[in-house]
Structure 1
Amino acid sequence: MTSALALLIILSAYLFGSISSAVLICRVFALDDPRLRGSGNPGATNVYRLGGALPAALTLLFDVLKGMLPVWLAYFLGLPPITLGFVAIAACLGHIYPLFFRFRGGKGVATALGAMFPVALPMTLMLILTWVFVFLVTRVSSLAALITVGLSPLYAYLVKPQYTVPACMLAALIIWRHRSNIQRLWRGTETGFR
Structure 2
Amino acid sequence: MSSIALTIGFAVFGYLLGSVSTAVVVCRALRLPDPRGEGSGNPGATNVLRIGGRLPAALTLVGDFLKGTLPVLIARAVTDDMAAIAVVGLAAFAGHLYPLFFGFRGGKGVATGLGVLLGWSWMAAALTGGSWLLVAMLTRLSSFSALMAFLLAPSFLWWTTHSAVLAGTMAIMTLVLYWRHRSNIANLVAGKEKKIGL
Same fold (TM over 0.5): yes
Q: Is 2:157 the partner of 1:167? A: no
Any conservation in 2 of the 1:25–1:55 contact (CA below 8 Å)? yes
What displacement does 1:137 show?
2.0
Q: Show the counterpart of 1:145.
A: 146
| 1:118 match: secondary structure | helix
Task: Give the partner amino acid of 1:183.
Answer: A
**Secondary structure of the equivalent of 1:191?**
coil
CA contact (8 A) 1:84 1:166 kept: no
Cα contact 2:35–2:43 (8 A) shared by 1: yes
Please show how residues 1-194 of structure 1 align to structure 2 within 5 Å.
1-162=2-163, 163-193=166-196, 194=198
For residues 65-85 of structure 1, give each alpha carbon's deviation from its aligned partner in whole angstroms, at most 9, with x where no partner exists: 111111112222224333322
Moved more, 131-140 or 149-158: 131-140
What CA deviation, in whole Å up to 9, does each residue of 1:5-24 have, x standing for no partner? 11011011111111100011
Q: Which moved more, 1:57-66 or 1:81-90?
A: 81-90
Per-residue deviation, 1:36: 1.1
Deviation string 1:133-170 (CA, Å, 9 cap, x unpaired) is 22222222111111111010111122112032122122
**2: CA distance between counterparts of 1:141 and 1:152?**
16
Identity score, percent: 43
Deviates more, 1:62-71 or 1:83-92: 83-92
**In the alignment, residue 25 of structure 1 is paired with which amino acid?**
V
Report runs of 4+ in structure 1 exceeding 4 Å deviation.
none
Partner Cα separation in structure 1 for residue 113 and residue 185 of structure 2: 19
CA RMSD, aligned part only? 1.4
Structure 1 unaligned residues grouped into runs of 5+: none
* C-alpha contact (below 8 Å) 2:10/2:84 kept by paired residues: no
**Paired residue secondary structure (2:119):** coil
In 2, the alpha carbon distance for the partners of 1:180 and 1:80 equals 37
User: Quick one: structure 1 residues 84 and 169, their matched pair in 2 at CA, closer, same or farther if it must change by over 3 Å?
Assistant: farther
Using the alignment, how far apart are the partners of 2:54 and 2:137 within structure 1? 17
- Tell me how many residue pairs correspond in the alignment: 194
By how many angstroms is 1:181 displaced? 1.4
8 A contact 2:6–2:84 mirrored in 1: no
